[in-house]
């Protein structure tokens, strides 16, 4: 088997709270991505999905910072290389599409300018060539009349088209890894499904490895090879998508799977999980899911279960399904 493209090892992200203590939102996560593989990272709001990916890209804003772990890419630890090197990798080898498309596009610059800027930051090409690449990339993400659309400003695009433009910026330099943080509130479900399809298509046609972040297990399951389930800043389960769907072992995964949001029917899950995720700084001592878990027993509250490996599936639970 080939070496993984990206390997996240023991990654931790934390903040200093008002009294100077460290509060960790990502508490030692491990997973890897093979070349060309699509991995879904799923979990409810606040589970640490975005922070972990921002840490991988070294784009955490203050006060968040990486407090431990390694991120191996191409044999180098991204967390220890210098900023100039990281800047060369970001956008060229690893690109990220952010959760909030509004704030990721500059409203004052045309779409074409924003794509050509990315191209010219990483490749020595003429202005004309950069514009040709930009038009071709915009076309690739499904925007018709791409040549003309280059001169449009972001406000002239619909939400779905802005999302496509952001994906165009991300893939303009043909990265080896695309990290897509699913826009949750900005887009309606139909557009969201189209974006998921687009990412699946790009991955198939261009061979780009993908990390797809989502709340929605069913949505990502359609396009990924493997699923990583996060809860309370930890990976609670991961494995091949078929195994996760057919035989989830962690009760949280089981409940996520029972949440069946419909693409055509009313918006919102038919089944919701009782209670709410733990708050930062108030993490249970044991399993973070124990306060909401229908299967929890007393040791679940006091002892963090280790990750158990069962063939190619891993789960951290004292009372697995
Ligand atoms: N700048 C910040 N300062 C303090 N806390 C933060 C900051 N950014 C994120 N957090 C907290 O860290 C935790 C993890 O946040 P993160 O954004 O990674 O969650 P997420 O899994 O991406 O959630 P969502 O699905 O809502 O995007 C949350 O409790 C969040 O409130
Ligand atoms: Mg997020």
pLDDT (tens digit per residue) in 4-31: 999 999 999 999 888 888 999 999 999 9
Helical axes 127-140 vs 111-122, angle rounded to 10°:
110
Residues in Cβ contact with 152 at an 8 Å cutoff, skipping those fewer than 6 apart: 110, 111
pLDDT band at 47 (very low <50, low <70, confident <90, very high): very high
Instruction: Tell me: pLDDT of 265 over 50.
Output: no
What is the position in ligand 1's atom list of the atom closest to the CA of 48? 18
* Low-confidence winner among 35-49, 180-194, 272-286 (lowest mean pLDDT): 180-194
Report pLDDT for 184. Answer: 62
Contact 227, 236 (CB under 8 A): no
The pLDDT tens digits for 166-221 are 999 999 999 999 999 987 655 677 888 888 899 999 999 999 999 999 988 988 89
Report pLDDT for 192. Answer: 81
What is the pLDDT of the chain when averaged over all its residues? 91
What is the position in ligand 1's atom list of the atom closest to the CA of 62? 1
User: What percentage of the chain reaches a pLDDT higher than 90?
Assistant: 77
Report pLDDT for 262. Answer: 47
For residue 151, how far is its CA from the centre of ligand 2 (angstroms)? 31
For residue 73, how far is its CA from the centre of ligand 2 (angstroms)? 22
Report pLDDT for 18. Answer: 83
Out of 13, 47, 232, 281, give the residue to mutate to test ligand 1, the one with the largest number of ligand atoms within 8 Å of its CB: 47
Average confidence (pLDDT) over 157-174:
93
The pLDDT tens digits for 106-124 are 999 999 999 999 999 999 9
Instruction: Tell me: pLDDT of 296 over 80.
Output: yes
* Low-confidence winner among 56-70, 131-145, 147-161, 247-261 (lowest mean pLDDT): 247-261
Instruction: Tell me: pLDDT of 267 over 60.
Output: no
Query: Virtual CA dihedral for 69, 72, 78, 80, nearest 10 degrees?
Result: 60
Contact 20, 46 (CB under 8 A): no
For residue 214, how far is its CA from the centre of ligand 2 (angstroms)? 8
Task: Classify residue 271 as exposed, middle or buried by CB count within 10 Å of its CB (0-12, 13-18, 19+).
Answer: exposed
Residue 293 vs residue 264, higher pLDDT: 293
Report pLDDT for 260. Answer: 63
What is the position in ligand 1's atom list of the atom closest to the CA of 52? 18
User: Which domains are delineated in the chain?
Assistant: 34-64+83-93+176-315 (3.40.50.300), 104-174 (no CATH)
Instruction: Tell me: pLDDT of 40 over 90.
Output: yes
Task: Classify residue 312 as exposed, middle or buried by CB count within 10 Å of its CB (0-12, 13-18, 19+).
Answer: exposed
Q: What distance in Å separates the CA atoms of residue 195 and residue 10, rounded to the nearest whole number?
A: 31
Q: State the DSSP H helix or E strand holding residue 32, giving kind and residue range, or none if neither.
A: strand 22-33
Residue 279 vs residue 71, higher pLDDT: 71
For residue 47, how far is its CA from the centre of ligand 1 (angstroms)? 7
């Amino acid at each position: 088997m080939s070496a993984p493209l990206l390997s996240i090892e023991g990654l931790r992200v934390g903040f200093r709270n008002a009294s100077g203590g460290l509060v960790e939102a990502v508490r030692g996560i491990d997973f890897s991505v093979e070349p060309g593989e699509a991995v879904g990272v799923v979990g409810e709001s606040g589970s640490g999905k975005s922070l972990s990916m921002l840490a991988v890209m070294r784009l955490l804003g203050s006060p968040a910072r990486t407090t431990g772990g390694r991120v191996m890419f191409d044999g180098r630890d991204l967390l220890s290389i210098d900023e100039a090197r990281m800047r060369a990798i970001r956008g060229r080898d690893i690109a990220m599409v952010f959760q909030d498309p509004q704030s990721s596009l500059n409203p004052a610059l045309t779409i074409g300018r924003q794509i050509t800027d990315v191209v010219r930051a990483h490749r020595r090409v003429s202005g004309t060539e950069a514009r040709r690449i930009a038009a071709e990339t915009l076309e690739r993400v499904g925007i018709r009349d791409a040549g003309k659309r280059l001169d449009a400003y972001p406000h002239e695009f619909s939400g779905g088209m802005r999302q496509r433009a952001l994906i165009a910026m991300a893939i303009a330099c043909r990265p080896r890894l695309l990290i897509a943080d699913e826009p949750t509130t900005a887009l309606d479900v139909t557009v969201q499904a189209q974006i998921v399809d687009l990412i699946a298509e790009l991955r198939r046609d261009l061979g780009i490895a993908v990390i797809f972040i989502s709340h929605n297990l069913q949505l990502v399951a359609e396009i990924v090879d493997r699923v990583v389930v996060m809860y309370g800043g930890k990976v609670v389960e991961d494995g091949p998508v078929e195994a996760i769907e057919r035989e989830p072992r962690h009760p949280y995964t089981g409940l996520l799977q029972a949440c069946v949001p419909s693409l055509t029917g009313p918006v919102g899950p038919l089944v919701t999980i009782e209670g709410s995720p733990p708050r930062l700084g108030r993490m249970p001592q044991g399993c973070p899911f124990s306060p909401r878990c229908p299967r929890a027993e007393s040791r679940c509250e006091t002892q963090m279960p280790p990750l158990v490996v069962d063939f190619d599936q891993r789960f951290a639970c004292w009372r697995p399904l």
